[in-house]
Structures are given as C-alpha cells and as structure tokens.
Amino acid sequence: MKTVYSQPNSQEFWQEQLDKVVAQCEARDIEVNVGSRKENMLLIYEDRYVIWLNSRVKPETRLYLLLHELGHVFILRDKKLITKFSRVNSKAKSLSLKILEIEEEVLAWHMGEQFARKNDIYLGPGFLLCKAKCLKTYISSV
C-alpha cells in the first residue's frame, strides 16, 4: 500500500507529526493532554508523567513544545542528569542555579530535537524560533 502524505506545512501535516509523538509518549507511559491552560507543563506523579499543552497554540508549535517537555522527561529518567539538575528546584536561586536552570532548559530542547531526528519527526524552521523564544524568557529572568 502506498503511503499518502499530507501537504507539508499544512495543518494536517503538523497534526500527523504531533500524533506520532503523542503515540510515542503513550508507549512510554507519558500522558499527553491538550487544554485551555496557558502554560505548557509537565506534571510529575509518583508513577507517571502528564504533559499539558495549550489547545490554542497551532499544531506545529504544539509539536515543538511537546518535544521540549519530552526532553524534560528524558532528563528526569536519567539518574546522572537528575542528580545534576535536582538543585534547580530550590526556591532561592543564586546566579549559578539560574544558569543551571537554563542549562537544563537547553538540554531539554536538545533531547527533544534528537528524539525527533531519531523518530522521523519533521522539524521546520519554526523549531529554532520556538526554542529561541522559550529560552529567551528564561535568559531574561536571570
């Protein structure tokens, strides 16, 4: 059977890419929800991870944000990395902790990108832009 692909860059195309990543998340016991809350977030329960994505964001951007949150899960599932970044969650943040937080954010983007490349998920030029915008908010808060 011949596979028919949607027009690149159409809404359906991005939705397909997004669905592929959601399926991969579910296979890894990561729940993905789409809702009206503004912030995209990763919630950690004792036995599972839940990623929330904003429904008002277009599918292409939602795909990139999902990959980023997935990158965070990969960090959390890596013993060495979780030890390294565990201090980031403390309330009072020194400059070095703020920088460590940025390092974790950059790494989550990197891991999400690696995952996409390994799994044939298409990343458009919007990926870099989305990554840059998100990282900028962290950098400006230092």
Size of the site for Zn ion (CB under 5 A): 2
Minimum Å gap between C-beta 96 and Zn ion is 19
Find where tokens 């799994």 sit. 119
- Using CB atoms within 10 Å of the CB of residue 58, give its burial: 0 to 12 exposed, 13 to 18 middle, 19+ buried: exposed
Site string for Zn ion, 70-109 (x = CB under 5 A): -----------------------------------x--x-
What distance in Å separates the CA atoms of residue 113 and residue 140, rounded to the nearest whole number? Answer: 23
Minimum Å gap between C-beta 3 and Zn ion is 33
Choose between 13 and 34: whose C-beta lies nearer to Zn ion.
34
Q: Do 36 and 56 form a contact (C-beta atoms < 8 A)? A: yes
Choose between 60 and 101: whose C-beta lies nearer to Zn ion.
101
Minimum Å gap between C-beta 108 and Zn ion is 5
Choose between 18 and 108: whose C-beta lies nearer to Zn ion.
108
Q: Do 72 and 42 form a contact (C-beta atoms < 8 A)? A: yes
* Phi-psi domain of 16 (left: phi exceeds 0; alpha: psi -120 through 50; beta: other): alpha
Residues that bind Zn ion in the complex, under the rule CB under 5 A: 105, 108
